[in-house]
Amino acid sequence: MKDAQTGLFLNRIPYVKIGDGPNPIVVLNGGQAFVRRPTPARTVRDAKRIARILPSGRPLYIFGYDPAPPAGYDVETIARDFAEIIRSEIGPAALMGISFGGFVAMRLAADHPDLVERLILMVSAHRFSTEGRHSINRQLECAWQGDLPGLMSEFGTVFRRPWFNWLIRLRLRQERLHLHKKMSDPETIVRGLAAVAEEDFGGDRSRLGRIRARALIVGGTRDQFFDIEAYRETADMIPAAQLKLFEKETHMLPVERARAVAQATARFLRPH
């Protein structure tokens, strides 16, 4: 990806930019962005993967997270920082939040409607399922204890295809002794996961009702973090939302069904 540019917004928020021109798309990455160290090589790899599920020909910005979050770090703080960046550096844009990034995207779209032209929630909803909540709590416990292999083992069954899960587990075994070099320090992970665990923006229906942008919610019926009910509730609470559920797909839907997801996002982002 020769045209990928990397840098920092606000001197601390890592980002990748791909392409130039009008009609920008801003992507708020998932929680892996604060679990693993944000090296330039990793952010470019993430950008390449994300670009596959979005239409080409538009500038694409992919935001990471503060690698040294302060005490009291929460989704409101993140959304405020991202809104400042969009307002000063990019201008109104289509906004996509992936997984945990969807929590931030919903708050940003509700609190700063002038900045969000379209909203995509990719494998994300306004709340976790019971299974998803339990997983986040287990991840938090592992991070508190400095158990990085235990934390990463939570992602060993996220794919629909069993052999993908086998490869993930094999890779984790191979990296076990070197995880501390590739992952953020436990305090950073705890603060990021705590921000996720404490978020309840959709607990008050009127908050999501403030989102003015047309919205597309994309998920799988076997998502391990967001269940069908959470997806449907979110679509019901956002006034101009449509829901696209893929049967039998998991939280790794954007990876395993990238072409079908790209078709859905392209249709949604097409000018009307």
pLDDT, averaged across the chain = 89
- pLDDT at res. 21: 92
Beta carbons within 8 Å of 181's beta carbon, 6+ residues apart: none
Parse the chain into domains and list their residue ranges. 4-269
Residue given tokens 């009702």 in the structure block: 209
Query: Is residue 78 predicted with pLDDT exceeding 70?
Result: yes
CA 229/CA 129 separation, integer angstroms: 8
Beta carbons within 8 Å of 8's beta carbon, 6+ residues apart: 14, 15
For range 1-16, the mean pLDDT: 87
pLDDT in tens, 60-76: 999 999 888 888 889 99
CA 107/CA 144 separation, integer angstroms: 27
Query: Is residue 161 predicted with pLDDT exceeding 80?
Result: no
- pLDDT at res. 150: 83
- Strands 13-18 vs 25-28: parallel, antiparallel or unpaired: unpaired
Query: What's the Cα-to-Cα distance from 43 to each of 57, 194, 205, rounded to whole Å?
Result: 20, 23, 34
Q: Name the nearest CA neighbour of 201 among 126, 109, 117.
A: 126
- With bands split at pLDDT 50, 70 and 90, how would you rate the model's confidence at 124? very high
For range 3-29, the mean pLDDT: 93
Q: Kindly state the percentage of the chain with pLDDT values over 90.
A: 60
- With bands split at pLDDT 50, 70 and 90, how would you rate the model's confidence at 2? low
**More confident site: 103 or 151:** 103
- pLDDT at res. 168: 65
Tokens of 222: 């076997």
Per CATH, domain 4-269 is 3.10.129.10 = no
Query: Is residue 225 predicted with pLDDT exceeding 80?
Result: yes
pTM, 2 dp: 0.92
**More confident site: 176 or 153:** 153
Query: Is residue 151 predicted with pLDDT exceeding 70?
Result: yes
- pLDDT at res. 164: 65
Query: Is residue 3 predicted with pLDDT exceeding 90?
Result: no
Contacts of the segment 67-70: beta carbons below 8 A, 24+ positions apart = 67/12, 67/14, 67/34, 67/37, 67/38, 67/184, 67/188, 68/12, 68/188, 69/34, 69/188, 69/191, 69/192, 69/195
User: Of 24-38, 198-212, 228-242, where does the model show the most confidence?
Assistant: 228-242
